[in-house]
Amino acid sequence: MDVLTRIKRLVVARQVEFTGKAVQERLADGLSVEDVLESILNANAIKKVLRSQSSVRPSSRDHLYVIESPSYTGLWIYTKGSIRRKGGREIYYVFISSKLTT
């Protein structure tokens, strides 16, 4: 299964968590949780994959997935997130969520 499909399945199953920063950014842009999740579900492709080393887990490297796509109302939204394991299950963590200017 490709990564975008895995991310979309996690979104549909509501296995998504937002970091504190992502919540602040979402609220500052007037976006609802549903706007962000709709945008991820509407994505045709992952725009970019970044490799990031966690300061919390220095021995671990994360793949950060950048997605830019519209919500159902047409708002273009930028998200950056990572798939991680928590309590024996996969979770999609959203690190950044913001409205793109058009």
Domains in the chain, ordered, with CATH? 3-99 (3.30.2310.40)
The per-residue pLDDT of the chain, averaged, comes to: 90
Place 53 in a pLDDT band, splitting at 50, 70 and 90.
low
d(CA 88, CA 77): 30
Whether 57 has a pLDDT exceeding 60, the answer reads no
**In the predicted structure, residue 40 carries a pLDDT above the cut 90:** yes
Q: Count the neighbouring beta carbons within 10 Å of the beta carbon of residue 42.
A: 14
Whole-angstrom distance, CA of residue 71 vs CA of residue 84: 24
Q: What is the pLDDT of residue 63?
A: 93
Query: What's the whole-number mean pLDDT along residues 79-88?
Result: 93
Per the structure block, which two tokens stand in for 85? 């394991």
Confidence (pTM): 0.87
Residue pair 93/17 in contact by the 8 Å Cβ criterion: yes
Task: Residue 31: name the closest of 70, 88, 84 by CA.
Answer: 70
Neighbour-count burial of 62, counting CB atoms closer than 10 A to its CB (0-12 exposed, 13-18 middle, 19+ buried): middle
